Amino acid sequence: MIETSQVQLAIVSPDKEFYVPETGQSLHGKDVIKQMTINRVWHNDKQGRFAMVQYAGQCFKFREGEAKTVPESIGSRLRANSAICVGTDKLNGPIVPFLEIVKRTEMSESVSTKTPTTCPICGEDQLSFPKLTRHLAQERKKHPELFQEEKTEWEADEKPSKGTATDGDVD
């Protein structure tokens, strides 16, 4: 299936306010970011700290102030997987995803104009198949996680059926 909508995910901005119905108070993005530090969500590399969110066995890196564009179905799973319990009350504390959707791009209107040479990642028409192939190679470098096939479990499901229909009936 070709994804028709994409979202931009980013680490919650420090100023963002969340209303917590349980306490009747609100908390802010900076509280969530602080909790990320407490929970050791941050990792470090040469470019600085980043948060890692897993989905379907893939790790997605998120840096502060940087938005990542992913197909909407992946985006909503990543967002759900980024939920952390904020505060000291581990049982009742509010659970807030540290990723937020900063932009949603609905592609439904442009579906009719979509050509076979349109890039499924960014939605731009590459006009010819050789160009699309080259373009996809670049997309692959930029978003290797989007190109890895999800592990299917179908092999595990194909267990040999136990016995045959006659087994129990034979006298």
Q: What does the binding site for Zn ion look like in residue numbers (CB under 5 A)?
A: 119, 121-122, 139
Give the integer Cα–Cα distance in Å for 3 and 15. 32
- Cβ nearer to Zn ion, comparing 41 with 121: 121
Residues whose CB is less than 8 angstroms from the CB of residue 166 and which lie 6 or more positions away in sequence, other chains included: none
Q: Are 9 and 70 in contact (CB under 8 A)?
A: yes
Smallest distance from the beta carbon of 121 to Zn ion, in angstroms? 4
- Cβ nearer to Zn ion, comparing 69 with 82: 69
Smallest distance from the beta carbon of 79 to Zn ion, in angstroms? 22
Smallest distance from the beta carbon of 119 to Zn ion, in angstroms? 3
Give the integer Cα–Cα distance in Å for 28 and 23. 14
Q: Are 43 and 51 in contact (CB under 8 A)?
A: yes
- Cβ nearer to Zn ion, comparing 84 with 122: 122
Nearest to 29 by CA among 76, 93, 81, 99: 99
Smallest distance from the beta carbon of 114 to Zn ion, in angstroms? 13
- Cβ nearer to Zn ion, comparing 53 with 121: 121
